[in-house]
Amino acid sequence: NAGVMQNPRHLVRRRGQEARLRCSPMKGHSHVYWYRQLPEEGLKFMVYLQKENIIDESGMPKERFSAEFPKEGPSILRIQQVVRGDSAAYFCASSPPGGTAGELFFGEGSRLTVL
Amino acid sequence: DAKTTQPTSMDCAEGRAANLPCNHSTISGNEYVYWYRQIHSQGPQYIIHGLKNNETNEMASLIITEDRKSSTLILPHATLRDTAVYYCIVTTGNNRKLIWGLGTSLAVNP
């Protein structure tokens, strides 16, 4: 049973470019979460999605960031016009429907470097 | 969500028990205590959670004080692979937005 799959694992972008991070949840999981981790800091919640719905995006920056979880395919975190401050590790997690709210299964992360 | 306080770092000898404390003095009656760990450069890993009773699984034991204001995660026989940052998180049963602090950096030494 494959775990949460994230790709790419490492991504380098120049300022102003777009970054797209993908996350395939564990089989049977319908809840997806995105977290961001800056160096030497704890994780910061960004967004919580279910299939075709954004449930809670209170942690998403107001501009340049968007997330989706379509009916088919992986969840996508999109960052437009990246800036150096976007350099971070982005972690995706998933959980099953009806599962314990705080028990999340994390992927290995996507590390974005903005030059 | 209640705030948690953890020591910044701890050391433990390989093969000994590692006891990681967490203070959550403002915890409310419907909030659970969750523990995760993050091995360097990897995604966080769920360890265990509890409400008020002590809990044990194949990874660890969780001891919650009677007043629920603090808890201790116990790794009974620490190995080098247990070296990681351990996070204590308090949240309600239906809140899916976890608030992460800086955790405790545990170093298991040979």
Q: What is the pLDDT of residues B61-103, one digit of tens each?
A: 999 999 999 999 999 999 999 999 999 999 886 777 888 889 9
User: Strand runs (DSSP E) across chain A, as ranges?
Assistant: 5-7, 10-13, 19-24, 31-37, 43-50, 53-56, 65-68, 75-79, 88-95, 105-106, 110-114
> What is the chain B residue with the closest CA to A59?
B97
Which pLDDT does position A6 carry in this prediction?
Answer: 97
Across chain A, what does the average pLDDT equal?
93
| pLDDT tier for residue A33 given thresholds of 50, 70 and 90 | very high
CB distance B78 to B15 below 8 Å: yes
Which pLDDT does position B30 carry in this prediction?
Answer: 87
Rounded to a whole number of angstroms, the CA Rg of chain B reads 13
CB distance A19 to A88 below 8 Å: no
How distant is the Cα of A54 from the closest Cα of chain B, in angstroms? 13
Mean pLDDT of B20-25: 96
Can you read off the two tokens belonging to residue A49? 């999605």
* pLDDT cut 90: percent of chain A above it: 80
CB distance B23 to A70 below 8 Å: no
pLDDT (tens digit per residue) in A98-108: 777 788 999 99
State yes or no: pLDDT of A1 exceeds 60.
Answer: no
Can you read off the two tokens belonging to residue B59? 């990874």
State yes or no: pLDDT of B108 exceeds 80.
Answer: yes
A1 burial level (CB within 10 Å; 0-12, 13-18, 19+):
exposed
Segment holding B61, helix H or strand E:
strand B61-64
Binary contact (B103, A42; C-beta < 8 A): yes
State yes or no: pLDDT of B53 exceeds 90.
Answer: no
CA gap B101, B90 in Å, rounded? 11
Mean pLDDT of A17-25: 98
Chain A contact set for B100 (CB, 8 A): 35, 42-44
